[in-house]
Structure 1
Amino acid sequence: MDCGIAGSEVVDDPRDLTIEYPIVEIFHSVQGEGARVGIPHIFVRFGNCNLRCEWCDTDFDTYAMQSSMDILEQILAFDCKRIIFTGGEPALQDLWPLHRILKRRGYELSIETNGTIALPEGLLDWICVSPKDQMYPQSKIKQRSGDELKCVYVGQDLTMYDDLIEGFSHHYLQPCYIEGESIEWNGRHFAQTEKVVKDNPRWRLSLQTHKWMGVD
C-alpha cells in the first residue's frame, strides 16, 4: 500500500501517518543561532514543555494536533532538506514515526532540546542540547552527548558544565535576551556574556541573529 504523497514512490507504514502531534507552527527560515547559524532549515515547533523558562519566546501551550501526514504535506511545500525539531520540548514526543517518514525522503533531522529526556540512539542526525539547570537545578540533564551544547548565560558558574561539555563538539554561551526588557538591560547581558567567552576560550558566543533580522 502506497501511503506517500500523491506521485511519490515512497511506501510508508499507514500507522506512522496517523500519529498526531501537538504543533505550534511549521516554517522555513535560516538557523539564527549556534553552530549552524545561517543555514536554511524547516522548523517543526512542538507544543508542550516540561520547563517554564522566563526568557522563552514560544507560546508552547497554544498548538493544534496534527497528523504525521499533515506535517509531511507542509514540509514538502518547502525546497529544503534540513529539519529542526524544536519547541516547547520536542523530546516529549515519540519522534520515531516522523523519523521513518522523513528519512525515507532524504531529510536531515536535528533537534533542539533541554536535555532532560534521553534521546534514542540513531533517531537524529544533529543534537543540540540547551540545558536549563542554571534555572532549574533539580532538572537532571539526561542527554549528555551530542553535537552542540548551547547554554543561556544568566551569570551561572561555568564549572557546572565541566562534566557535560566533554560530550559535545561545539560549546556556546548565549546572552539571556528578553523581548519585554529594555535595550540597556539586554545590552548588559550581551556585554557580560562576551566578557565571559573571552575569559573562557572553550566557549563561543551565540547571538540570536534571526531576531535582529526580524524573521522567525
Structure 2
Amino acid sequence: MPSVFVRFGKCNLDCPWCDTPYNNFKRWSVSQILEKVWSFSSKNIIITGGEPTIVPKIEYLLEQFKSDGYFLAIETNGLKAIPAQIDYIATSPKSLYAHKYEKRCIPFANEVRIVMDSNMPSFCELIEQKIKAKNYYLSPCEIDGKMNLLETITLLGQLNQRSNKPKWQLSLQTHKLIGIE
C-alpha cells in the first residue's frame, strides 16, 4: 500500500551498521512536516528514524495526522513507549543492546524485525519472550557491501526447528540488494 515516510534523524542507540544518514538531515517544523505530508494523496504514514519515540512533540504531530484520518505505522527499536496514536508497530530490536531489552522494552508489536549480526540465537529467544508479535523476521546484515545471507538462513532454520509452528521468516532489505540507498 502506498505510504508516506516521515523519517527522523536522531536515535538513542549507536549501531555500527545503521543506514540512517545522521549528518544529512534538515530541521523541519511541525507545520512544514504536515504541509509536506498533506501534499501526497496517501493516507498511510510510516514514522521512522533514527528513533521516532525520542522526538520532542511527536505526540502533537501524530495527533494532527490522526485528526485528518491517517493510518499511522511506526518503525522503532522498541525501547521506549509507543505513542497512543499509532495503529501499527514494527520494532527492530538490536542485539548489540541485549542488556537494555532484558530490562525494559515494549511488550507487543505487530512485527519484529531483527537484523542479523552477532549473539543471535539467544537474542532472538529473548525477544520472543519479551515482545509478543504477530510476525517475526530476520534480515541479513550488510556491512561494507557484504551481506550475511547464508548465516541468516541457517539461523532461521535453527529457530524454526524448535516448534511445530515456525515463527521466524526471512526479510530482505530489497533496496540494498538492488543498490538503492
TM-score (norm 2): 0.84
- List per-residue Cα deviations over 1:95-146 (Å, max 9, x = no partner): 21111111122111111111121224x32011111111x1123333421211
Q: Hey, what does 1:197 align to over in structure 2? A: 156
Contact 1:48 1:61 in 2 (8 A): no
In 1: Cα distance, 2:61 partner to 2:180 partner: 26
Per the alignment, in what secondary structure is the counterpart of residue 151 of structure 2? helix
- List per-residue Cα deviations over 1:12-64 (Å, max 9, x = no partner): xxxxxxxxxxxxxxxxxxxxxxxxxxx32211110111111111111224322
Per the alignment, in what secondary structure is the counterpart of residue 85 of structure 1? strand
- List per-residue Cα deviations over 1:57-77 (Å, max 9, x = no partner): 112243222122111111122
Which residue type is aligned with residue 137 of structure 1? A
TM-fit CA distance, 1:213: 4.3
Contact 1:60 1:87 in 2 (8 A): no
From 32, 36, 52, the equivalent of 1:74 is 36
TM-fit CA distance, 1:163: 4.8
Per the alignment, in what secondary structure is the counterpart of residue 119 of structure 1? coil
Q: Which moved further from structure 2: 191-200 or 82-91?
A: 191-200
Written as runs of structure 1 = structure 2, the 5 A alignment for 1:56-71 is 56-71=18-33
TM-score (norm 1): 0.71
In 2: Cα distance, 1:62 partner to 1:215 partner: 17
Asked whether 1:125 is paired with 2:125, we answer no
Q: Which moved further from structure 2: 53-62 or 110-119?
A: 53-62
Q: Which moved further from structure 2: 195-204 or 95-104?
A: 195-204
Written as runs of structure 1 = structure 2, the 5 A alignment for 1:48-59 is 48-59=10-21
Higher CA-based Rg = 1
Written as runs of structure 1 = structure 2, the 5 A alignment for 1:176-191 is 176-178=141-143, 180-181=144-145, 185-186=146-147, 189-191=148-150
Q: How many aligned residue pairs are there?
A: 170
TM-fit CA distance, 1:165: 2.0
Amino-acid identity (%): 36
TM-fit CA distance, 1:193: 0.5
TM-align CA RMSD = 1.9
Structure 2 runs not aligned, ≥5 long: 161-166
Segments of 4+ moved more than 4 angstroms: 213-216
Written as runs of structure 1 = structure 2, the 5 A alignment for 1:61-210 is 61-93=23-55, 94-120=57-83, 122-132=84-94, 134-140=95-101, 141-165=104-128, 167-178=132-143, 180-181=144-145, 185-186=146-147, 189-201=148-160, 202-210=167-175
